[in-house]
Amino acid sequence: MRLEDYKYKVDYKWLKTKDDSKKEFDLISPAGRRLYFNSKIGKELSALREYLKNNTFIGYLLAPKMAGKGTYSKMLREIVGPEYFEIVSVGDAVRAAHKEFLEQGKNSDLYAYAKENYRGMMGLDEAFDSLVNRTQKGLMPTEFILTIVKREIDRIGHKSIFIDGFPRKVDQVSYSLYFRDLINYRGDPDLFVLISLPLEVIDARIRGRRVCPKCKTPTNIRLLPTSIVRFDEETQDYYLVCDNPNCEPTRLVEKEGDDKGIELIRERLENDLELVNMARNMYGISRIELFNSLEVDVGYKYVDDYEITKEYSYEGRGDDIVTVPKPFEIEDHGVKYFSLLPPPVVVQFVRQLVDVFNLT
């Protein structure tokens, strides 16, 4: 799918978090989020935890790059309980396998495991060669990737699992329909978790991204500033300073290429959007869909102001710099949208899981 052909459309069925209580919650702190989730979906969380005591499932996270897969799934794990499920990153698993094989070769546990479990058209040693010589576009056979992922799942044991990074290509979508059978995963229910958002949100996340060169902590000068802001008299620009208590005050820097925005990852985004669209139309597997943004014209009927992402501008100099927030607005095909903070999106997540598993 070409980026120019993508049009964001929001379904409001699960999105309403506004109520008549007029309460506001601190969505930045873990304690504030716990109060928020207990208020909005306390009953649903209890039902989901009760279900997960005796049941497990497999969820495939599908979304454009930088849409929030890791953020939403980790926050769900935070509020439901880490004892109930794990998040398996296919990319992380492949990188760990690559490192293990380089260090230990055929004496590694990985090689022994693959020798016992891998099945595919490519020979075992050839498959390991593809692991060592893999590129960003990927030359590894899908069957070998599944073997690496299966090994990670075997290590986890009896828990529910969210898989991030599979399927990665269109020709892998059919594998996901039979993935639970391929890994002998107890006949668990499985589902797609799709994340939709305007591409302008991703563009702003890329262009505003800043990272500490020492501790590598990422943030965003437009959407998520640190507590320390300074002004550069030479460039006449504001910049952020790392406030990680385990680091030292260091000027955050822009990653090379980030000024290009979504053009930096155009090919990846077009592939991701095609995958999401394909999964949206698959038969025989449950799916839930999370929406990051809502229309400005109707948004306040569904959420409160504190649930909306803010963008920040800066005024002043020296020690008198003031951070000025306002709602982060984007436009897609002539329609203006607000972007949501992660907690109200996770509310959608919980409500739909409860619905899929018929827990109400």
Q: Per-residue pLDDT averaged across 3-16, rounded?
A: 94
Report the mean per-residue pLDDT for the chain: 91
Res. 281 pLDDT band, cuts 50 70 90? confident
Going by C-alpha positions, the residue among 148, 165, 152 that lies closest to residue 67 is: 165
For residue 36, the model assigns a pLDDT of 96
Q: Which residues contact 247 (CB under 8 A, 6 or more apart)?
A: 212, 214, 215, 217
Structure tokens at 151: 């090994």
Res. 308 pLDDT band, cuts 50 70 90? very high
3-state secondary structure (DSSP) of residue 170? helix
Structure tokens at 257: 């290429």
Res. 181 pLDDT band, cuts 50 70 90? low
Going by C-alpha positions, the residue among 72, 161, 163 that lies closest to residue 345 is: 72
Alpha helices in 187-265 (DSSP H): 199-207
**What gap in Å lies between CA 112 and CA 106, rounded to an integer?**
8
Res. 262 pLDDT band, cuts 50 70 90? very high
For residue 284, the model assigns a pLDDT of 83
Q: Which residues contact 39 (CB under 8 A, 6 or more apart)?
A: 21, 23, 25
**What gap in Å lies between CA 356 and CA 250, rounded to an integer?**
46
DSSP E strand boundaries for 212-263: 218-220, 228-232, 237-241
Decide yes or no: CATH 3.30.70 for domain 3-7+25-82+160-208+254-356.
no
pLDDT in tens, 152-165: 988 888 788 999 98
Res. 22 pLDDT band, cuts 50 70 90? confident
pLDDT in tens, 46-61: 999 999 999 989 899 9
The answer to whether residue 112 scores a pLDDT higher than 90 is yes
Number of residues written out for the chain: 360
| 216 CB burial (10 A radius; 0-12, 13-18, 19+) | exposed
For residue 325, the model assigns a pLDDT of 94
Neighbours of 343 (CB within 10 A): 21
**What gap in Å lies between CA 314 and CA 94, rounded to an integer?**
42
For residue 139, the model assigns a pLDDT of 65
pLDDT in tens, 65-101: 999 998 999 999 999 998 998 999 999 999 999 999 9
Going from the C-alpha of 52 to that of each of 58, 70, 152, 161, 346, the distances in angstroms are 12, 21, 20, 11, 17
For residue 137, the model assigns a pLDDT of 57
For residue 138, the model assigns a pLDDT of 58
Q: Where are the domains positioned within the chain? A: 3-7+25-82+160-208+254-356, 85-158
Q: Per-residue pLDDT averaged across 1-27, rounded?
A: 92
Q: Per-residue pLDDT averaged across 232-243, rounded?
A: 94
The answer to whether residue 178 scores a pLDDT higher than 70 is no
Going from the C-alpha of 333 to that of each of 64, 93, 124, 137, 204, the distances in angstroms are 18, 38, 49, 31, 17
